[in-house]
Amino acid sequence: MTAVDTAVDTGPALADRIHGGWLGRIAGNMLGKPVEQGDVWTRDRIDRYLRAADALPLTDYLPEPAGDDGPSLRPEWRSCVRGRIHGSCRDDDVDYAILGLDLLETHGFDFTTEQVGELWLRRLPYLQTFTAERAAYRNLANGLKPPLTATYDNPYQEWIGALIRADIHGWTSPGDPRRAASLARRDAVLSHTGNGVYGAMWAAALIAAAFTAPTVRAAVDTALTVIPAGSRLARTVRRALALHEAGLSWEAALDTLAEETAGLGWIHTVPNAAVITAGLLYGGGDFTRTIALTVRAGLDTDSNGATAGSVAGVMTGAAAVPARWKDPLEDTVRSAVFGFDGVHVSELAERTLRLALLDA
């Protein structure tokens, strides 16, 4: 199968969907960034914050704090709340999408895991990496090669870092989830193992499937086919699907999923994939509802909002993303990736489209 399945429209619709994916990732990331501390900003605390600001249902970026009560927002909040946004804030959830684009433009789709690491060392500042990525970066700088970069002195091997790097592989493999998953795996094994790698494969396949899937449920079902059925990630995603199909409320489904993934931590791939799945299913294809529910669920809010926003943006297309989400971004991205700070979202989308069309 080629990079673009025959069912994919390779004309203006594809360009609009890829642009929608970029906008969705950035807007979802910006929405979740002020409350990105899952051990503090629980689902209950996020909703209490929103009620205090008269912002439920959530239909826009987070409001400014209504008072001094409750935990503090992240220091970047002043650039990420409604009325204060002028272009996107810098964040690793967007940096890695940009770095992935640079990877494919530099080395093509036959890139090696070693080339991913070399690009990190050239383009990405060490202090803008975290958890598994920082461990892998340190290992690279000390001369280790993959797969040791993922396993040596790295307690974060199944955390969410590889999943947040996967979007570019989905956007450049529209309608071809297996190809997307294969590319994402080659990237992920630099820093992750097990469910950490499966999360990247699942997310890339989910985004690739969103280009042609008739429904969100169909995209989620398709994404499950690229990871081991017995993995904890696959079992948890299937559980989220079953709870939704059984008619449980979003709140009840999240309560159940939280109980069943307790102890894994708020940055682990598995509970965050559950939150993303629930946001997509209960969002029902509506862009605003999808990213709002995903962020309100807590855990790694900016990463989850970004991935859910990417899927929703691909399914709706950029033209259908509400103006309240895209206009404040001013078509501008702040990035720590050398050579990309201040790049336009539209330029990133155009460059991604060119890659997606290479094998069309």
pLDDT of residue 8: 76
pLDDT band at 9 (very low <50, low <70, confident <90, very high): confident
Phi-psi region of 238 (alpha: psi -120 to 50; beta: other; left: phi over 0): alpha
Place of tokens 């969907």: 17
DSSP string, 46-79: HHHHHHHTT--S--SSPPPPSSS-SPPPPGGGGG
Give the global pTM.
0.96
Domains of the chain (ranges; CATH) run 12-356 (1.10.4080.10)
Residue 340 confidence (pLDDT) above 50: yes
Per residue in 292-305, pLDDT (tens digit) is 999 999 999 999 99
Residue 153 confidence (pLDDT) above 60: yes
* Pairwise CA distance, residues 46 & 31, whole Å: 12
pLDDT of residue 129: 96
pLDDT band at 1 (very low <50, low <70, confident <90, very high): very low
pLDDT of residue 2: 39
Contacts by 59-64 with C-beta closer than 8 Å and gap 24+? 59/288, 59/292, 59/324, 60/324, 60/325, 61/30, 61/31, 61/85, 61/324, 61/325, 61/328, 62/31, 62/34, 62/35
* Pairwise CA distance, residues 78 & 80, whole Å: 6
pLDDT of residue 7: 67
pLDDT band at 11 (very low <50, low <70, confident <90, very high): confident
Chain centroid, CA 3 distance in Å? 21
pLDDT of residue 4: 44
Average pLDDT of the chain to the nearest whole number:
96
For the ranges 56-70, 132-146, 240-254, 284-298, which has the lowest average pLDDT? 56-70
| Cis-peptide, bond into residue 174, ω within 30° of zero | no
Per residue in 14-44, pLDDT (tens digit) is 999 999 999 999 999 999 999 999 999 999 9
Share of the chain above pLDDT 70, in %: 97
Mean local confidence (pLDDT), 274-285: 98
Per residue in 82-100, pLDDT (tens digit) is 999 999 999 999 999 999 9
Per residue in 111-122, pLDDT (tens digit) is 999 999 999 999
pLDDT band at 360 (very low <50, low <70, confident <90, very high): low
Angle between helices 131-141 and 113-123 (to 10 degrees): 90
pLDDT band at 67 (very low <50, low <70, confident <90, very high): confident
Secondary structure element (H or E) that encloses residue 333, with its range: strand 332-333
The count of C-alpha atoms lying within 13 angstroms of the C-alpha of 99, restricted to the half-sphere facing its C-beta, is 28
Mean local confidence (pLDDT), 66-78: 85
DSSP category for residue 268: B
Place of tokens 């795996």: 185
